[in-house]
């Protein structure tokens, strides 16, 4: 069972917060090992280098300040100083982040914001014009804390508001009697959000949403009702489907891949995408489009093979309970939400589920659909060629290998956080850590961009080599997108790394395979690259013995 070390700091009694976190992680098959600081000891824990926080060395720090407690602090401030409250609070947060970074450079900080404003109505609706009012300052504070998150890579802000629980976040009698500022349902919801996010950083997240069509993307049945008979657009229930498509379009723009799985004739199923003026989604938005009369479970498996992702990375959305049940039974790793009967509830329901949590975003994400569409063409072509060498040669692949640049940082960090299968050691890095490697002479960094006659794969492989001294180097990280699996990209990168290290007078390269549940794909990678096993998971290669590996990548 995966273990996660989490420290919890709060200005309220956090014992039930810890219980909720334990429960949320257990539901997801993980064990949360917790450090629960004393009540209202945030300042001490962060300032004192000998505090329990620093001795615990957590992977994650939940820094949770109750807004009620913060409001009390606001009213302890002199009236003349209240207009600077948010500014001073943010300065303190950034100072504390710097302190934590000094001692715990790799700890990720999770910070629920103060969206639960607890407005005191001292100024009523005039508060927005009074910069010394509590309402004015807490709204300003929330905006400023988002900017802190932008400036600090490992500091993440959480939305503290659950609309479904609004008005039931707090039991005021418990606040007075026991400094318990939040109700158990609220803490369970917050803990669930934390668990989802932590697992996302660990590489467990949803990459693809598979969509039914009739009564899911539009009202009615295209095969029976025809193009003019389906409901979509600005009238009646059609508005609900339009809003749903707009939401899906934004997911696609963020990098979530859209696929279609419909029981229908292909030409009929695609007709609305081609010809209906009110459609928001187009065929260009769909990475894989399957419409036939086969089992949806079988078709989802086909989609998985084309996209080369795991079932646990997929979400299936279908209005039909019977189809949902079949997919759940045959593909239990695919997430299948119990969609509401009313299409007007589709978007609110899915927003509340927060299925598509993410911990990173790069400009490369918005190009993902096109990359998968091109990959589908490659897959289709490979089926018609039985000789793999002929196929690889026909791709006319070209590659660029370079050291990390500033503009690569977010994408490289994202690959370390998201890659699970072709990942030699599964070490996760933040953008700030990757950025520091660019300036650190102990590291040699390599990223690979590949293109072929169909188009660009983008930045699809990363190698990080650490110089240990004494003519020895170590493979710290080796990651590759499964989209270029069996394309000999790894051979090309190995040849490049060896050539580079020889120029730096390195004599020996050491490697290590750290096994995880998902990375058995690279179990024999170092053997295939010509390295010699020295014990169970350690390898070495004297560079003067390296034999150049065959590759189909052109210069």
End-to-end CA separation in angstroms for the chain? 45
Is 359's pLDDT higher than 80? no
Q: Which pLDDT value is given to residue 363?
A: 63
- 387-554 maps to CATH 3.30.413.10: no
| Residue range 513-524, pLDDT digits in tens | 999 888 888 899
**At how many degrees (to 10) do helices 184-201 and 15-27 cross?**
50
The domain spans of the chain are 2-201, 208-353, 387-554
User: For the whole model, what pTM was predicted?
Assistant: 0.73
Positive or negative: CA dihedral 92, 434, 410, 416: negative
Q: Is 310 helix (H, G, I), strand (E, B) or coil?
A: coil
| Residue range 226-250, pLDDT digits in tens | 898 899 998 889 999 999 999 999 9
CATH class of 208-353: alpha beta
**Alpha-carbon span 218 to 240, nearest angstrom:** 9
Same topology between domain 208-353 and domain 387-554: no
13 confidence band (pLDDT: 50, 70, 90)? very high
Instruction: Kindly state the average pLDDT of the residues 27-56.
Output: 94
Q: Which of 266, 284, 288 is nearest to 207 (CA)?
A: 288
Average pLDDT, whole number, for the chain?
90
Q: Which pLDDT value is given to residue 299?
A: 94
Residues β-bridged to residue 64:
10
**Alpha-carbon span 480 to 464, nearest angstrom:** 12
In this structure, the dihedral spanned by the alpha carbons of residues 309, 313, 315 and 321, taken in order and rounded to 10 degrees, is: 90
| Residue range 289-346, pLDDT digits in tens | 999 999 999 999 999 988 888 899 999 999 999 999 999 999 999 999 999 999 999 9
Q: Which pLDDT value is given to residue 281?
A: 96
Instruction: Kindly state the average pLDDT of the residues 389-402.
Output: 88
Q: Which pLDDT value is given to residue 237?
A: 92
Answer yes or no: are the C-beta atoms of 121 and 109 closer than 8 Å.
Answer: no
* Homologous superfamily in CATH for domain 2-201: SGNH hydrolase (3.40.50.1110)
Q: Is 58 helix (H, G, I), strand (E, B) or coil?
A: coil
Q: Which pLDDT value is given to residue 97?
A: 96
Strands (E), 470-526: 472-480, 508-512
Q: Which residues of 167-184 are buried (b: 16+ CB within 10 A; e: fewer)?
A: eebbbeebbeeebbbbbe
Q: Which pLDDT value is given to residue 323?
A: 93
Express as a percent the part of the chain with pLDDT over 70. Answer: 97
Quote the tokens at residue 364. Answer: 């490369």
């Amino acid at each position: 069972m995966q273990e996660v070390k989490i420290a919890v700091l709060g200005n309220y009694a956090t014992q039930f917060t810890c219980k909720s976190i334990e429960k949320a992680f257990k539901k997801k098959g993980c064990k949360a090992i917790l450090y629960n600081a004393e009540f209202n000891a945030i300042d001490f824990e962060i300032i004192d280098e000998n505090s329990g926080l620093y001795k615990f060395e957590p992977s994650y720090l939940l820094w949770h300040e109750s807004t009620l407690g913060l409001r009390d602090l606001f009213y302890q401030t002199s009236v003349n100083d209240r207009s600077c409250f948010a500014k001073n609070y943010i300065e303190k947060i950034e100072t504390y982040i710097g302190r934590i970074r000094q001692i715990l450079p790799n700890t990720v900080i999770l910070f629920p914001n103060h969206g639960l404003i607890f407005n005191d109505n001292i100024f009523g609706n005039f508060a927005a014009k009074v910069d010394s009012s509590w309402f004015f300052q807490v709204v300003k504070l929330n905006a400023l804390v988002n900017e802190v998150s932008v400036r600090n890579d490992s500091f993440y802000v959480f939305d503290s508001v659950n609309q479904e629980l609004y008005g039931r976040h707090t039991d005021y009698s418990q606040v007075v009697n026991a400094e318990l500022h939040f109700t158990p349902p609220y803490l369970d919801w917050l803990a669930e959000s934390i668990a989802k996010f932590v697992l996302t950083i660990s590489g467990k997240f949803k990459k693809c949403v598979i969509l039914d069509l009739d009564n899911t993307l539009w009202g009615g049945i295209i095969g029976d009702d025809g193009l003019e008979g389906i409901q979509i657009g600005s009238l009646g229930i059609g508005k609900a489907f339009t809003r749903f498509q707009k939401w899906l379009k934004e997911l696609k723009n963020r990098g979530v891949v859209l696929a279609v799985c419909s029981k229908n004739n292909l030409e009929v199923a695609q007709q609305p995408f081609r010809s209906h003026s009110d459609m928001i989604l187009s065929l260009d938005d769909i990475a894989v489009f399957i419409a036939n009369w086969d089992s949806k479970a079988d078709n989802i498996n086909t989609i998985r093979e084309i996209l080369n992702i795991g079932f646990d990375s997929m979400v299936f959305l279908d209005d039909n309970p019977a189809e949902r049940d079949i997919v759940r039974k045959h593909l239990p790793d695919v997430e299948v939400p119990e969609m509401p009967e009313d299409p007007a509830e589709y978007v609110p329901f899915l927003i509340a589920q927060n299925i598509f949590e993410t911990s990173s975003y790069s400009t490369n994400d918005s190009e993902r659909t096109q990359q998968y569409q091109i990959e589908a063409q490659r897959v289709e072509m490979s089926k018609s060629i039985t000789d793999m060498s002929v196929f690889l040669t026909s791709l006319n692949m070209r590659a660029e290998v370079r050291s990390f640049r500033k503009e690569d940082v977010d994408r490289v960090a994202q690959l370390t956080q998201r890659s699970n299968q072709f990942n030699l050691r599964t070490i996760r890095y933040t953008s700030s850590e990757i950025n520091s490697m660019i300036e650190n002479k102990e590291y040699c960094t390599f990223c690979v961009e590949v293109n072929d006659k169909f188009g660009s794969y983008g930045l699809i492989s990363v190698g990080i080599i650490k110089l240990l001294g004494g003519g020895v180097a170590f493979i710290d990280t080796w990651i590759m997108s499964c989209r270029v699996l069996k394309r000999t990209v790894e051979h090309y990168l190995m040849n490049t790394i060896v050539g580079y290290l020889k120029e730096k007078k390195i004599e020996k390269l050491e490697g290590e395979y750290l096994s995880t549940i998902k990375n058995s794909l690279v179990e024999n990678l170092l053997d295939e690259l010509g390295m010699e096993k020295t014990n169970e998971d350690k390898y070495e290669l004297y560079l003067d013995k390296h034999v150049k590996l065959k590759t189909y990548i052109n210069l």
